[in-house]
C-alpha cells in the first residue's frame, strides 16, 4: 500500500519538476534580454537539484543528496559570476 502511494507520488513529482525545467528552458531560449536568460538558467538548475532529491527518495540512496548539494553550490557561483558580468562587462560606465 505505502509502496504504491510513494511510487505514484515520486513519479508525479518528477513529471512536474521535468515540466518546470522544460518551461524554464523555454524562457531561457526566448529571452528577451540577457537577465531573463540568466534567471532561466537559475530556475533550471534549482529544479534539476530538486529532481535529484526526488531521485534519492525514489531509490532510497543517500548519494543523490551530495550530488544535489554540489549542484546547488556550483549553480550559485555560476549565477553570481554571470550577474557580475552583466553589471560590469557589457555596459560602458
Partner 1 sequence: MMQSAADMPVWAAIAVAFFLLVGSGLALIGAIGFLRLPTFYERIHAPTLGTSWGIGGIMLASMIFFTVSSGRLVFHEILIGIFVTVTTPITFMLLARAALHRDRAEGNGNVPDKPNRSQPAREFLGESDPRRG
Where does the chain have alpha helices with state H?
A: 2-30, 34-59, 63-85
Residue count of the chain: 93
Angle at CA of residue 34, ends 33 and 38, nearest 5°: 125
Q: Which of 29, 63, 74, 83 binds partner 1 (CB under 8 A)?
A: 83
Judge contact between 13 and 55, C-beta under 8 A: no
Q: Show contacts with partner 1 in window 17-36 (CB under 8 A).
A: 17, 19-21, 23-24, 26-27, 33, 35-36
Shortest distance, position 31 Cβ to partner 1, whole Å: 10
In whole angstroms, what is the distance from residue 12 CA to residue 16 CA? 6
Work out whether 63 is an interface residue with partner 1 (CB under 8 A): no
Interacting residue ranges for partner 1, rule: CB under 8 A: 1-3, 5-10, 12-14, 16-17, 19-21, 23-24, 26-27, 33, 35-36, 38-40, 42-43, 46-47, 49-50, 53-54, 56-60, 62, 65, 68-69, 72-73, 76, 79-80, 83-84, 86-87, 90-92
Amino acid at each position: 500500500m505505502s509502496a504504491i502511494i510513494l511510487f505514484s507520488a515520486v513519479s508525479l513529482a518528477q513529471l512536474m519538476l521535468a515540466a518546470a525545467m522544460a518551461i524554464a528552458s523555454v524562457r531561457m531560449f526566448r529571452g528577451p534580454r540577457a537577465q531573463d536568460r540568466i534567471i532561466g538558467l537559475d530556475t533550471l538548475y534549482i529544479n534539476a537539484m530538486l529532481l535529484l532529491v526526488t531521485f534519492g527518495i525514489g531509490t532510497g540512496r543517500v548519494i543523490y543528496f551530495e550530488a544535489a548539494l554540489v549542484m546547488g553550490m556550483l549553480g550559485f557561483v555560476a549565477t553570481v559570476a554571470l550577474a557580475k558580468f552583466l553589471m560590469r562587462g557589457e555596459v560602458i560606465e
